[in-house]
Structure 1
Amino acid sequence: MGFKTVFLSLASLPLAKTETILGVYIFHRHGDRTAKSLAPTNLTALGADEVFQSGDFYRTRYVASDASSPIHGLSNDIAVPTQLSVISPADSVLQSSALAFLQGFYPPAGTNGVSILANKSEVQAPLGGYQYIPVSTSSTTSSSADSENSEWLQGGSGCGNAIVSSNNYFLSEEYTTALDQTKSFYSNLLPVINGTFSASQATFKNAYTIFDYVNVATIHNQSIPASQLLTNDTLKELRTLADSHEWNLAYNDSDTIRAIAGATLAAQIVQQLNSTLSGKGKTPVSIQFGAYASFMSFFGLAQLQTVSADFTGVVDYASSIVFELVTNSTVSSSAYPSADDVSVRFLLANGTAALNPPREFPLFGQTQTLLPWNTFATEMNKFAIGDTAAWCRACGNTTGTCASSTSGDSGSDDGAADASTTSSNGISLPVAGVIGALVTLVVILGIEALVYALVGLKLVKKSTLASLGGSGSSGVVGGTGAGSKA
């Protein structure tokens, strides 16, 4: 993404002197990792340092005793588990990133980690007082085990209607035109990538994994075959094509079910921030790690692409978005503000926050970057999908977990809406779900026939493609080779 080079920043205004941060929700991408096409994928030392530095930045902003924007009531040095909600899918790269981030957020306690026993002897906790902060695996529909290696949908993996929607991209004129126009571009790169990609795989169909493979090489490899082919213009084009490919799989204006990952993330954000309010700050910090498609899906739903076209690109390694819950009212042990006195600020750090501090941007096509809580919650709930039943209805799924979840309506927890009431074409999502369940098989067979007849492609899961060196999954990339920070 070009956030670092061409940003029309609407933001970074100093906080009001009387402002108090009541809580935050941070959604974070993992750090630098090995290539998706060369499994198993692992977090690198560089990646661990990136997310650690990000954690340290947010500590300086929110946690430390001299924090620039301290969170009300948050423990400064010793982590209190009940004050933190940390979630990551059961994926090694994401879990490792979460642990590294937390060591920056709450570093080893040092002398504060010493226990004095009954016999007056002292015991120092291991590793200088290393703090063991639990990282939960999400049990919601927005995350799934091994999400880094599952279909691009990640959070929406298994959503029938969303899978059909994303597959429709491969039948679109935009895709087939790009596929045709870039044949020579990718073919010319074969001397660089033919150790992993065959001639038939070197196409726009695999735009992201090819970019990822080259990007990782430019970061870590001291020598690259035919490196003279990787000019600055070529690296930029690889990144631009990958961005376009992934954006079109993550979001579509006229078929928003494609952005199911962003819709479920939106519900989690509202639910958790609302929980902070209703619990009067009992759990003021929520941190979730996830992959880039969820960022892109949310950006589309929140209309951030209207602020800058940069929001249609893949965010860099260790990027984060932050939702700050703020008030100008008095906050004390006996006085906590009502929802009417609370606002929400949205910020983005593209790349590790230590090097690219978060900047404010307006959501939902608004002009102001600080929205009243009720406005924020109302706008988010227009597209948020907040529980299993709503997810099943929107996705048209009726088997497995959904077999017992689609029989009745279920409101979302903590006041978040369970789903948008209608799809973009005016059909209610519950009705769309039923229709999707009945016609999915027919659609898929029809698509397969058309694809074979028209363009000779075969629709398969990205996990299958990955095993063949094909288009990457939810993974992630930084763009050092393309001019952006990994």
Structure 2
Amino acid sequence: MSTSDQSTVLGVVVLARHGDRQGFYQDPETYTASQTAITPLGETQEFELGSVIRDLYFDPSSPSFVQGIANTSALFQQSQVAVRADAGGEGGVIFDSAVALTQGLWPPTFRASTVLANGTNVTSPLSGYQYIPIESVEPNEDVSLEGFTSCNTFDAHTTAFYNSDEFKAKNAEASQFLTSLQPYMDGRPVTLENMWNIFDYMNVQSIHNATFANTLPNGYLNQTRDLANWHEYNVFSDSAFDGIGNVAFRTMIPSVVTALQRIANSTDPLKFHYSAIAYKPFLSLFNMTGVVADGALPPAIVNYAASVVLEVRQPSSGSSPVVRFTFKNGTDDATYRTYPMRFTGWDGSSSSADAPLATFVQAFAPAGINTTLEWCNACAQTQLRGCAALYAGNGTAGASVAGVRHERISPVGAGFLGAGLTVAVFGIVAAVLVFLGLLTLGRGKRRAGKKVREESHSSTNSMTKESV
């Protein structure tokens, strides 16, 4: 394996898991999640990760300095940055992690100040705090960061795994150990199906509960982690590149691919794209990129504040841009390491670890789930997450989702569809109000328009703005 150390970094796409949090439960069949909260440890982990990324990519003295980005001596420049955070099942943990990470990337500075007309110098609060816009990605409005919930075909995939001979064999192998765990689980179900929740409970208690940590026998947490790793990788991966088991990353592909292409485009200002996510997309990403195929990277749940950085690099030879896969498994992992990717059209284990961007896009783009309507089709979902409205607006009966191939709708088309549905609903409501005498049509005083956030989405077009 070789990499071009003479290449320059044009920009990066960062995928980072949230930091340490309080206890958490998710349904082992549907992965519907409970609420939880980030801890001060989790905030610190994310801040430290942001600081590491800042030193690596924003410092002009670093060999991985991103060419043209606002460096460590400059203020945050919004045109160069896009930040997105999953606001789903773990409540505000992932969003709060994004806030902490961006604080490490762009810490307070007295340069965040202005001089008023009267000569007064005013610095932003908290000694020059830099306010970084973060797009809150709500799962019921945008499927891109959490494509696995409410997905019927993914639930069927999980059930099939639980009914497989492989699962039954592992269950028989682990049965004695699972029985030995019962005294430590505070009444929780100790089954292989529930392995994620068993591990997560033990992990959280081992970090925050000294009595539990001192009582748990040596080796129990590691054995539980191994079983959870096996369990989760099999749930969130698939033997088929575009299989539903990979849905956690397949819904992210449009935003990732678009960001890579924008970074490679010299006329586009984007240099840094960051998505704050849970652990699930990492497993699908590891499977699809083949980074676990040769055993260099284990098929395992990533640690808190783990991150993958996809670097867009320009080879010194002047040839087309390439993509480099790097990974750092949490704050205890000292540095980012490069891993060769292996997918259709590319085998980095026998050539350069840097895959041509065009080859990467050619392989991954077709597997991407580009719109909510595509997600509804892939997941055989007819009602939730806007699917009912989309099928009604598309003139398609929801009952035929699983058996009929529908025409692909572009993000722009879905946007117009969402706007059309909104206008129609508004018209019906207005008519009712007129009938009741609660609304008068005609000239009146001009009202100030409500300012709408740039990051907001239509519930019927939930994929990212970057893909439009």
TM-score range, shorter chain: 0.7 to 0.9
Distance 1:229 1:139, change over 3 A: closer
Q: 1:240 to 1:355 in 2, by over 3 A?
A: closer
Moved more, 288-297 or 251-260: 251-260
Q: How does 1:4-403 map to 2 (within 5 A)?
A: 15-16=5-6, 19-37=7-25, 40-76=35-71, 77-90=74-87, 91-110=91-110, 112-138=111-137, 154-194=146-186, 196-197=187-188, 201-224=189-212, 227-232=214-219, 234-254=220-240, 256-278=243-265, 280-308=267-295, 310-328=297-315, 341-352=320-331, 355-365=333-343, 366=347, 367=349, 368-399=352-383, 400-401=386-387, 402-403=390-391
Please say if residues 364 and 379 of structure 1, whose CA atoms lie closer than 8 Å, have aligned partners that are also in contact: no
**TM-score, length of structure 2 as denominator length:** 0.74
Q: Is the Cα contact below 8 Å between 1:32 and 1:46 reproduced in 2?
A: yes
Structure 2 residue identity aligned to 1:93: V
SS in 2 for 1:75: coil
How many residue pairs get aligned? The number is 378
SS of equivalent to 1:155:
coil
* AA in 1 matched with 2:37: N
**8 Å contact from structure 2 (residues 143, 372) kept in 1:** no
Match of 1:426 in 2: none
CA distance in 2, matches of 1:21, 1:171: 46
Q: Secondary structure at the match of 1:306?
A: coil
Deviations 1:216-242 (A, max 9, x none): 1211212118x444212x222101101
Match of 1:443 in 2: none
SS at match of 1:315: coil
After superposing the two structures, state which structure 1 stretch, 277-286 or 23-32, moved more: 277-286
* Counterpart in the other structure of 1:408: 407
Report the 3-state secondary structure (helix = DSSP H, G, I; strand = E; otherwise coil) of the residue aligned with 1:321: strand
Q: What RMSD over aligned residues (CA atoms) do the two structures have, in Å? A: 2.7
Unaligned stretches of 5+ in structure 1? 1-9, 148-153, 331-336, 414-486
One-letter amino acid of the structure 1 residue matched with residue 378 of structure 2: A
Deviates more, 1:372-381 or 1:273-282: 273-282
Q: What is the CA-CA distance between 1:379 and the residue it aligns to?
A: 1.9
Which amino acid in the other structure matches residue 204 of structure 1?
Answer: L
Instruction: Note closer, same or farther for the CA distance 1:343–1:310 as it changes in structure 2 (3 Å cut).
Output: closer
Q: 1:182 Cα deviation (Å)?
A: 2.5
Does the 8 Å contact 1:301/1:383 carry over to 2?
Answer: no
CA shift, 1:93, in A, is 0.5
Counterpart CA distance in 1 for 2:184 and 2:76 is 47
Offset at 1:298? 1.5
Which is further off, 272-281 or 52-61? 272-281
Q: Which has the larger radius of gyration?
A: 2
Distance 1:141 1:341, change over 3 A: farther
What 5-or-longer segments of structure 2 have no aligned partner? 27-33, 397-405, 413-468
SS at match of 2:292: helix
What is the match of residue 430 of structure 2? none
Q: CA deviation at 1:303?
A: 2.0
Task: State TM-score, norm by structure 1.
Answer: 0.72
Instruction: Give the alignment of 1:438-453 within 5 angstroms.
Output: none
8 Å CA contact retained: 1:325, 1:345: yes
Pair 140,217 (structure 1): closer, same or farther in 2 beyond 3 Å: closer
Cα contact 1:142–1:265 (8 A) shared by 2: no
Q: Is the 8 A contact 1:89 1:144 kept in 2?
A: no
- CA 1:372/1:142 → structure 2, altered by over 3 Å: closer, same or farther? farther
Structure 1 contact 36–213 (Cα < 8 Å) conserved = yes
Query: How far apart, in 1, do the equivalents of 2:4 and 2:315 lie?
Result: 14
Distance change (3 Å), C-alpha of 1:351 and 1:142: farther
Is the CA contact (8 Å cut-off) linking 1:143 and 1:156 kept in structure 2? no
Aligned partners of 1:142 and 1:156 also within 8 Å:
no
* Cα separation, partners in 2 of 1:229 and 1:107, compared to 1, 3 Å: closer
Task: Render the CA deviation track for 1:112-167: whole Å, top value 9, x for unaligned.
Answer: 1221111111112111111000110236899659x8xxxxxx43222222221122
Assess if the C-alpha contact under 8 Å between 2:315 and 2:322 holds in 1: no
Percent of aligned pairs sharing the same letter: 29
Give the letter for the 1:386 counterpart.
N
